[in-house]
Structure 1
Amino acid sequence: MSEPLFKGFGDKALPFLKALDFHQNREWFLENKELFEAHLYEPLGDLVEDLIARFEKAGLPFKGDRKKSQFRIKRDTRFAKDKSPYNRHLSALLSPDGSKWTETGCFYVCVGLEDYRGCYAAVAWWQPKGELLTAMRKSIVTKPEKYRAMVEALRRNGLELRDSDRLKRTPRGFDDVTDADLIEALRNRSFVVRHAIDPGAITAPELADDLFDFALRSRPLIDWGRSIEGTLVTEVATL
């Protein structure tokens, strides 16, 4: 058996982010760039590669690249009120096509300060647009047993479907729905399960095992979304 690629984040990973939160200037970052790369950037790349290999073997639709899947620690502040030049977290996203910018089911991992994002992972259909979101909502109404079975399977796996940015009103065209759980689902902008990561555990190689287990437990959500996405592909193919 080959030795696991991911050895854990460096012990200075979170202390670096705390110091960066205090300094927030290019000069300090450049002076400490080697520390950033050794304790955060390269370990996250190792984690990405480790998980990609595991996901492929398990048939989970999450692909990526050790570099391209990572989000930049430097912020785009052009339209932000907070003009701090650097994020207080480092994160990566894996998706079916390997892109970071996708509305299909994705896997996200973040290492950060608790006051900002914290350490966590998520599997999500994140803000699906247009046809896909409409198809999901129609499926919830026309096939409620499948939606409820997915939610129950997640619950048995210790996960809860949630959306912190849910609509306040039921979307137009679904006003006749009366079941409380379906109304709540219809108001979702995203379909997300989240897994908290113990900050004290990020330096251990077992973090990869923990995240892989989480992804496996999230499979009911992945499969539910993919089945709906598949109906759209079929409809287009028959036109």
Structure 2
Amino acid sequence: MAGFAGFGEKAIPFLKALDFHQSRDWFHENKALFESELREPLGDLIEVLTERFGETGLDLKGDRKKSQFRINRDVRFSKDKRPYTDHVSAILSPDGSKMEQGVFFVYVGLDRCFAAVAWWSPGPELLLAMRKAIVEKPEAFRAMVAALAGNRLEIGTEGQLKRVPRGFEAVAEPDLAAAVRNRHFVVRREIDPAAIQRPDLVETLVDFAVRAKPLLDWGRTIEGRLPRR
């Protein structure tokens, strides 16, 4: 397994140039730069994080190729026909696939660089179970939120419903009512773009994932992967 030496110095400039050209010919002429500055370093990062997450007891792993998202955009049903994204990203999950919930996500892009631990758009059955757990076991939910706060993390509100969903109209406590409106349960850690070039990015991401573990454990308990409290 290779170590992680950081993304290349030309990683962000490459994304900027690709976003400007949005040309398949340009991309193929510069594909070697994409591989060396972005794709291969991201693969190294996935492998190192998989090892480190295993050492720290986090049930998260990935594959250097399969865990990465394609830089090619699917434009079949989109009005935006630009062929390439302006970022690279990857998911580490319990089974190493992109289909699981309770995942670690890393994103390096023109607009921002960040990591996230997330239950992102869980299916209807799991989302309902999470909402029921919030209402029926508020002490466990609040303990999780407090643990995150103690670790300097907070569940985001992106995509939150404007009203409580059907069946939860009677929820009176403001924090619980706000929580059941969530469609995602996610915490993020912004990354300085300059930091992606350093090997110690690994330590930053491992530290963040460990601090986000209360959110993972809460969801895993609801899934039945961990003993219920």
Q: TM-score band, normalised by the shorter chain? A: over 0.9
Letter aligned with residue 105 of structure 1: G
- Inter-partner Cα distance in structure 2 for 1:184 and 1:28: 47
1:87-98 paired onto structure 2 within 5 Å: 87-98=85-96
Return the match for 1:109 from 106, 110, 114.
Answer: 106
Tell me which of 108, 111, 120 is aligned to 2:114.
Answer: 120
Query: After superposition, where does 1:69-88 map in structure 2 within 5 Å?
Result: 69-88=67-86
> Counterpart of 1:151?
145
Q: Secondary structure at the match of 1:124?
A: strand
| TM-score (norm: length of structure 1) | 0.92
Q: Where do 5+ consecutive residues of structure 1 fail to align?
A: 235-239
Q: Is the 8 A contact 1:132 1:232 kept in 2?
A: no
Q: Work out whether residues 220 and 226 of structure 2, in 8 Å CA contact, stay in contact via their aligned partners in 1.
A: no
How big is the shift at 1:231?
7.3
Letter in 1 for 2:48: D
Q: What SS does structure 2 have at the residue aligned with 1:19?
A: helix
Could you state the TM-score of these two structures normalised by the residue count of structure 2?
A: 0.96
Name segments (4+ residues, structure 1) moved above 2 Å: 231-234
Matching residue's letter, 2:3: L
Structure 1 counterpart of 2:88, one-letter code: L
Query: Is 1:137 matched up with 2:131?
Result: yes
Write the letter of the residue equivalent to 2:119: W
In structure 2, C-alpha distance between the alignment counterparts of 1:212 and 1:4, rounded to whole Å: 17
Identical-pair percentage: 63
> CA RMSD for the aligned pairs?
1.7
CA drift at 1:141:
0.4
Cα distance, 1:63 vs. partner? 1.3
**Superimposed CA distance per residue, residues 72-123 of structure 1 (whole angstroms, 9 cap, x where no aligned partner):** 0011011122111000000000111111123x20000000001xxx100000
Partner amino acid for 1:87?
T
Distance in 2 between residues matched to 1:174 and 1:168, nearest whole Å: 13
Unaligned residue ranges in structure 2 (runs of 5+): none
Q: Distance in 2 between matches of 1:33 and 1:133?
A: 40
